[in-house]
Structure 1
Amino acid sequence: MNLAKLRITSATTRRKLEGSLFIAPWAIGFLVFVAFPLAYSLYMSFQQVRITATGINTTPVGLLYYREILFADGGLLYDDLVPFLREAVLMIPIILIFSLLTAILLNVRFGGRMIFRVIFFLPVIFASGQIIQEFIAQGEGQLIILQGSQLERILSDYVPRSWGEPLRSILGSFVLVLWSSGVQILIFLAGRQTIPASVYEAARIDGADPWSTFWKITLPGLSPFLLLNLIYTVVDLFTFPSNPIISKVTTENYGVSSALAWIYFMIVLLFLGLALLLYRRASRSMGIGAIR
């Protein structure tokens, strides 16, 4: 009896050791390349940093840089960040809805379906970083159908300027918004394929129309993937290369840049928390799976 328990214990210990060995490279990499730089940047945000020939000299300044950014020089944070947040509030649902509808269409059997799947994912590979910035700088990205329309006049007459400017910015680069949906489409497509076809067959036998099937079967089945795409889209938008806050982070003053980065990090967490709260309430109101 004791020998059997000893064998079970040794097997359990061996499995734990194997798991620890497999995860060790990631844990070491996280501690060295992520955790330490984060902790050091937090330390520098409370220091006046000087780079000299002999090394890095730091002088404690406390919360000086945080007070300057938040109160004394609020324009450094608010002038560009607030319009960007309004634009993000509009872009997130556009990306999610477009990705969801496209994934549902790409799940239907038709000729050349694989080619269309590749086309929608190609921008994720090619349209990154400097390519997107150059694309925007050339004034490209606007939908041709919007050119010559009365949309600009409608936005000026009926939409407050605080929201009209973000709308104009989105419409001016709407193709880029669609291009940034490749990963979300792939995730929704994988999620759609997890719903058994027998469920839809049973719904058709019971006389359910496509509209009811979408709200009663497809959307509840995709709710976990909707949450995943929501998180991914928020993080992706706030780390976009043309982000106004990221562009202000320089190496001229490491203390100020570190403080700005940590303030922005807290804002991203707050925005993400609000997005998750809205998702939870919407899920409950529609009767689909919510965060517990």
Structure 2
Amino acid sequence: MSKQERRKGYWSYRWKDYGTGYLFMLPWAIGFAIFVAFPVGWSFFNSFNQVRLTNTGFTYKWVGLDNFRRVLMEDNVYPIELIRYFQEMLLMIPLILIFSFFVSLLLNQKLPGRALIRAIFFLPVIFATGQVLMELFSQGAGKLPFIAQYNLDGLVKQYVGPKLAEPILNVLSKAVIILWYSGVQILIFIAGYQTIPRSVYEAIRIDGATPWEAFWKITLPAMVPFIGLNAVFTIVDLFTFPTNPVMYQVSKNMFSPQAGYGYASAQAWIYFLLILLLLGLTLWLTYRSIVKKGAFR
């Protein structure tokens, strides 16, 4: 068989196995190419230019990496907001994952009104989005009053130090987000529990394993892919949060005479690359955990 025939057979085999999946992805690919690829490419081009909006349209002046240098070396607001927001999110993401994991573990049990409780946890995903969420936060609905009531800020600063206390207090003040932003994760975890055969639990129960041992030996290893999936979803969800101060800085500088589209695009790309790095680290850790458990051969 010639090399060309082998290649044709390989692609025929691939299409036979994955063709249906490719067809389902096709509408998304078309939409991405039309509505996302061009704006992303234009933003990347702008980040290397000084862009000004004039009466005749946009004017471009090539400045290379100067926008990135100005963002990192001269800007006194954006780097601080960026570091502060990453600190908060690196604390909040594990809290959301842990909370949703154990709530889904409880909701996976056979209890009265289980479907209603699941719906209640999912309702904030439907209602608390976009402008609704911003309005709730502007009215102070996202804060917990006990922090000021019991002087927790003083205790936190005393025991962890002022530098680490600020992101911790910001996370505590937004603790309601953990409830509002856990609905999808809970459903994904519940779907993950359904993939574990009941016969496995019956077998280890016969062998004398306790529920605690069953959790560590069966449930948790089987849920590693779903933990990784939820981590990726949570990262994307939180870093596109409506009240995100980093995105506010980008949008503000976009129309600033001193900054402009090029400078704002450089800020956006720095933010995007850091999120991409965090996503890559999450996927790598998930893959390593799956391989270590022997799921891949």
TM-score norm. by structure 2 comes to 0.84
CA distance in 1 between partners of 2:159 and 2:41 (Å) = 48
The aligned residue for residue 257 of structure 1 is 264
The aligned residue for residue 105 of structure 1 is 106
* Counterpart pick for 1:56 among 55, 58, 77: 58
The aligned residue for residue 31 of structure 2 is 29
Shift of 1:145: 6.3
% identical aligned pairs: 50
CA distance in 2 between partners of 1:276 and 1:44 (Å) = 30
> 1:17-63 deviations in whole A, cap 9, x for unaligned?
x8677654433322221112111111111122233343332121222
The aligned residue for residue 43 of structure 1 is 45
The aligned residue for residue 154 of structure 1 is 155
Instruction: Mark the CA change 1:110 to 1:144 in structure 2 (over 3 Å): closer, same or farther.
Output: farther
Kindly indicate whether the alpha-carbon contact (under 8 Å) linking 1:143 and 1:174 is maintained by their aligned counterparts in 2. Answer: yes
CA distance in 2 between partners of 1:32 and 1:49 (Å) = 23
Instruction: Mark the CA change 1:146 to 1:280 in structure 2 (over 3 Å): closer, same or farther.
Output: farther
CA distance in 2 between partners of 1:111 and 1:179 (Å) = 23
CA distance in 1 between partners of 2:272 and 2:128 (Å) = 25
The aligned residue for residue 140 of structure 2 is 139
CA distance in 1 between partners of 2:285 and 2:23 (Å) = 40
Pairs aligned (count): 279
Q: Counterpart of 1:52 in structure 2: which amino acid?
A: T
Query: Which 10-residue stretch deviates more, 60-69 or 44-53?
Result: 44-53
Instruction: Mark the CA change 1:196 to 1:284 in structure 2 (over 3 Å): closer, same or farther.
Output: closer
Query: Which 10-residue stretch deviates more, 55-64 or 31-40?
Result: 55-64
Kindly indicate whether the alpha-carbon contact (under 8 Å) linking 1:224 and 1:289 is maintained by their aligned counterparts in 2. Answer: no
> 1:171-227 deviations in whole A, cap 9, x for unaligned?
112112221011111110100111111111112222211111111111111111011
In the alignment, structure 1 segments of 5+ residues that lack a partner are none
Q: Counterpart of 2:100 in structure 1: which amino acid?
A: S
In the alignment, structure 2 segments of 5+ residues that lack a partner are none
Kindly indicate whether the alpha-carbon contact (under 8 Å) linking 2:48 and 2:64 is maintained by their aligned counterparts in 1. Answer: yes
The aligned residue for residue 166 of structure 1 is 167
CA distance in 2 between partners of 1:93 and 1:197 (Å) = 28
Kindly indicate whether the alpha-carbon contact (under 8 Å) linking 1:50 and 1:57 is maintained by their aligned counterparts in 2. Answer: yes
Q: Does 1:68 align with 2:75?
A: no
CA distance in 2 between partners of 1:279 and 1:23 (Å) = 24
CA distance in 2 between partners of 1:160 and 1:215 (Å) = 35
**Where do residues 183-198 of structure 1 align in structure 2 (5 Å cutoff)?**
183-198=184-199
The aligned residue for residue 240 of structure 1 is 241
The aligned residue for residue 123 of structure 1 is 124
CA distance in 2 between partners of 1:106 and 1:170 (Å) = 26
Question: Matched residue of 1:88: which SS?
Answer: helix
Shift of 1:234: 1.2
Shift of 1:129: 1.7
CA distance in 1 between partners of 2:36 and 2:231 (Å) = 24
Q: Counterpart of 2:65 in structure 1: which amino acid?
A: L
Question: Matched residue of 1:249: which SS?
Answer: helix
CA distance in 2 between partners of 1:232 and 1:21 (Å) = 23
CA distance in 2 between partners of 1:102 and 1:242 (Å) = 26
Q: Counterpart of 1:257 in structure 2: which amino acid?
A: A
Kindly indicate whether the alpha-carbon contact (under 8 Å) linking 2:104 and 2:190 is maintained by their aligned counterparts in 1. Answer: yes
TM-score norm. by structure 1 comes to 0.85
The aligned residue for residue 269 of structure 1 is 276
CA distance in 1 between partners of 2:151 and 2:209 (Å) = 40
User: What root-mean-square deviation, in Å, do the aligned CA atoms of Structure 1 and Structure 2 show?
Assistant: 2.9
Kindly indicate whether the alpha-carbon contact (under 8 Å) linking 1:48 and 1:255 is maintained by their aligned counterparts in 2. Answer: yes
Shift of 1:146: 5.7
CA distance in 2 between partners of 1:291 and 1:68 (Å) = 45
Kindly indicate whether the alpha-carbon contact (under 8 Å) linking 1:220 and 1:289 is maintained by their aligned counterparts in 2. Answer: no
Kindly indicate whether the alpha-carbon contact (under 8 Å) linking 1:135 and 1:141 is maintained by their aligned counterparts in 2. Answer: yes
Q: Does 1:216 align with 2:217?
A: yes
**Where do residues 67-106 of structure 1 align in structure 2 (5 Å cutoff)?**
67-73=69-75, 75-106=76-107
Q: Counterpart of 2:276 in structure 1: which amino acid?
A: L
Instruction: Mark the CA change 1:144 to 1:22 in structure 2 (over 3 Å): closer, same or farther.
Output: closer
